[in-house]
Amino acid sequence: MNLQPYLTFARQLAYRAGRITLSHYNKGIQHDLKQDESPVTAADRATEEFIRGEIEKNFPAHAIVGEEYGEKAGEGNPFRWIVDPIDGTKSYMKGVPFYSVLIASRSKAYRELARSVSPPWTKSSTRQMDWAAGGTANAPASQKSKI
């Protein structure tokens, strides 16, 4: 199976979602508490809404599971996207730059691809996007690409 279209989509989506998180970053972030007492911010919600919208537009039959908005069934399709719009919300809320946008996709048969981006708050020479595709996870430290 050619994973390149999924990987390209996920890489671009994670980068664009990271830009949304930055538009809220370090700006007096208010939060609510979820049922499990963990914090959720407007940035979490806006980022997940954006990610879901893009997945639904490009892969309407795929399932989506997100931290903030739960699960959308995949109409019999074996693909499922897993989304954590801000992994590290507590750090994010405090202005500590240790958070990531996490996007993964898998099929029922095997793990297809995974995507993670740390938003570019640092100097351009150290901005990195880590990714892995179909069985290559952590093969030479996954891949790092400049953004």
Map out the domains of the chain as residue ranges.
4-146
CA gap 58, 6 in Å, rounded: 10
Which residue in the block uniquely carries the two structure tokens 């898998």? 106
H or E segment and range at residue 129: strand 128-133
Domain 4-146 matching CATH 3.30.540.10: the answer reads yes
Q: Is the pLDDT of residue 134 over 80?
A: no
Q: Is the pLDDT of residue 145 over 60?
A: no
Tens digit of pLDDT for each residue in 74-103? Answer: 777 778 899 999 999 999 999 888 888 988
Q: Is the pLDDT of residue 117 over 50?
A: yes
pLDDT at 12: 87
Tens digit of pLDDT for each residue in 50-65? Answer: 999 999 999 999 999 9
| Listed residue (101, 81, 129, 123) closest to 24, CA to CA | 101
pLDDT at 92: 92
Which residue in the block uniquely carries the two structure tokens 């997945």? 55
pLDDT at 77: 78
Sheet with 111-117: list strands edge to edge. Answer: 70-72, 63-66, 80-87, 100-106, 111-117, 128-133, 143-146
**Taking a C-beta distance cutoff of 8 angstroms, is the pair 41, 68 a contact?**
no
Burial class (CB in 10 A: 0-12, 13-18, 19+), 113: buried
**How high does pLDDT run on average in the chain?**
79
CA gap 21, 2 in Å, rounded: 30
